[in-house]
Chain A
Amino acid sequence: MLNALDKTLLEKVADLHSVPIGAYSIRKNGVGIERNSTANITVEPKTDKPGINVTVKPGTKNESVHIPALVTQEDTEDTVYNTIVIGENSDVLVVAGCGIHNDGGKTARHDGIHDFHVKKGAKMRYVEKHYGQGPGTGEKILNPKTIIWAEADTVVELEMVQIEGVDDTHRETTVHLGDRAKLIITERLLTTGVQTAVSSVNIELEGENSTAQVISRAVARGHSKQDFFFDLSGKNKSRGHIQCDAIIMDNATVLSTPKISAYHNEAQLVHEAAIGRLESEQLIKLMSIGLSETEAENTILNGFLK
Chain B
Amino acid sequence: MLELKNVSLKIGESRFEVLKNISLKMDQKKLYVLTGPNGGGKSSLAKLIMGIEKPTTGKIFLDGEDITDLTVTERARKGIGYAFQHPPRFKGISVKEMLRLAMNETGDPMRDLLLQVGLCARDYLSRDLDATLSGGEIKRIEIATILARRLNVAVFDEPEAGIDLWSFQKLAQTFNTMHEKLDTTMIIISHQERILELADEILLVENGRITPNVTMESILNRQDTTMSCDCYEETEGTENAERVG
Contacts and interface: CB of A to CB of B under 8 A. Distances in A.
Contact of A303 (B90, B102, B104): B90
A281 B129 CA distance: 14
Interface size class of A (residues with CB under 8 A): 20 to 34
B97 interface: yes
Contacts of B149: 289-290
Contacts of A291: 73, 76, 101
Contact of B76 (A245, A287, A303, A306): A287
A292 interface: yes
B81 A289 contact: yes
Given A279-B88, A282-B88, A289 B102 contact: yes
Contacts of A217: 91-92
Interface residues of B, number: 23
A288 B82 contact: yes
A305 B50 CA distance: 29
Contacts of A282: 88, 90
Interface string B84-114: 1011101111000100011010000000000
A219 to B, nearest CB: 11
A214 to B, nearest CB: 15
Given A285-B84, A287-B76, A288-B81, A304 B101 contact: no
A187 B80 CA distance: 38
A39 B82 CA distance: 59
Contacts of A304: 91-92
A281 B88 contact: yes
B101 A289 contact: yes
B88 A303 contact: no
Given A285-B88, A304-B91, A299 B101 contact: yes
Contacts of A292: 73
A29 to B, nearest CB: 35
Nearest to A286: B101
A287 B93 contact: no
A269 B82 CA distance: 42
Contacts of A300: 90, 93
B102 to A, nearest CB: 4
Contacts of B121: none
A265 to B, nearest CB: 30
Interface of A: 217, 245, 279, 281-282, 284-293, 299-300, 302-306
Given A217-B91, A300-B93, A304-B91, 19 more contacts: A281-B84, A281-B88, A282-B90, A284-B72, A285-B84, A285-B88, A288-B82, A289-B101, A289-B102, A291-B76, A291-B101, A293-B73, A299-B101, A300-B90, A302-B92, A303-B91, A303-B93, A304-B92, A306-B92
Interface of B: 50, 52, 71-73, 76-77, 81-82, 84, 86-88, 90-93, 97, 101-102, 104, 145, 149
28 contacts: A279-B88, A281-B88, A284-B72, A285-B87, A285-B88, A287-B72, A287-B73, A288-B50, A288-B72, A288-B76, A289-B76, A289-B81, A289-B101, A289-B102, A290-B73, A290-B77, A290-B102, A290-B149, A292-B73, A293-B73, A299-B93, A299-B101, A300-B90, A300-B93, A303-B90, A303-B92, A304-B91, A304-B92
